[in-house]
């Protein structure tokens, strides 16, 4: 459909631009330091460019504009893959290079993402857009803690992946694309709806979850 084609084009252009920025940062580092090893990146322009590229790949604010539009235009299963599996490679790069990345930039990006993700999901009725903004907020908290305690970021990522996968599986089973569809699933399966409520509360981090 035209909507899915538009989403695929946006995703491709964004990821291609971010990958080009990663290669460009490696080129700058190799030019100034003499090595292609990005794990020991010492050039400030190179690691700032790498941070921006990884933020664009993940969908962190202010480079987040593509993520809600792409998730809204694809199928629920594709949205599940983009929200979970596609986050692993950029976060792995962040884990490898976190000692060389700028901590203030990571914290600013993380806090900005948490604010944008929290506010952006308030006036949405499409479940995929709500999950997209939730993803932006959760990734913001992960990036904020990454330079301080990497083990906490990995734990947060694992919990996020499990909860988001369960939530998308519910949406796929119930074929619900809007909040109104979700409210009608109680007649379809009360147990499934109760499970979704627990997943949402857990994703929000409410006690005792």
Predicted confidence at residue 51, as pLDDT, reads 93
**pLDDT digit string (tens) for 105-133?**
999 999 999 999 999 988 888 889 999 99
Which residues are bridge partners to 178 per DSSP?
126
Predicted confidence at residue 93, as pLDDT, reads 93
For the chain, give the percent of residues with pLDDT over 70. 100
Decide if 96 contacts 164 (C-beta within 8 A).
no
Predicted confidence at residue 52, as pLDDT, reads 94
Predicted confidence at residue 145, as pLDDT, reads 94
Mean pLDDT of the chain: 91
**pTM (two decimals):** 0.91
As given in the structure block, the two tokens for residue 91 are 């976060």
Predicted confidence at residue 192, as pLDDT, reads 83
Predicted confidence at residue 166, as pLDDT, reads 92
**Number of Cα atoms under 13 Å in the Cβ half of residue 145:** 15
Helix (H, G, I), strand (E, B) or coil at 171: helix
**pLDDT digit string (tens) for 63-104?**
999 999 999 999 999 999 999 999 999 999 999 999 888 899
As given in the structure block, the two tokens for residue 60 are 């962190």
């Amino acid at each position: 459909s035209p909507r899915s084609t538009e989403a695929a084009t946006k995703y491709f252009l964004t990821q291609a631009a971010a990958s080009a920025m990663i290669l460009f940062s490696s080129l700058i580092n190799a030019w100034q330091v003499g090595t292609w090893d990005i794990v020991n990146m010492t050039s400030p322009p190179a690691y700032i460019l790498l941070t921006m590229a990884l933020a664009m790949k993940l969908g962190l604010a202010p480079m987040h504009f593509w993520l809600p539009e792409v998730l809204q235009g694809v199928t629920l299963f594709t949205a599940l893959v983009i929200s979970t599996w596609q986050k692993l490679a950029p976060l792995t790069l962040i884990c490898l290079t976190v000692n060389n990345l700028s901590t203030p930039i990571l914290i600013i990006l993380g806090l900005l993402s948490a604010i944008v993700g929290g506010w952006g999901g308030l006036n949405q009725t499409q479940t995929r857009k709500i999950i997209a903004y939730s993803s932006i907020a959760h990734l913001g908290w992960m990036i904020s803690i990454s330079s301080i305690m990497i083990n906490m970021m990995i734990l947060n990522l694992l919990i996020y992946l499990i909860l988001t996968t369960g939530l998308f599986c519910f949406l796929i089973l119930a074929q619900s694309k809007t909040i109104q569809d979700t409210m009608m699933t109680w007649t379809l399966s009360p147990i499934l709806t109760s499970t979704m409520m627990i997943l949402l509360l857990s994703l929000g981090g409410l006690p005792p979850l």
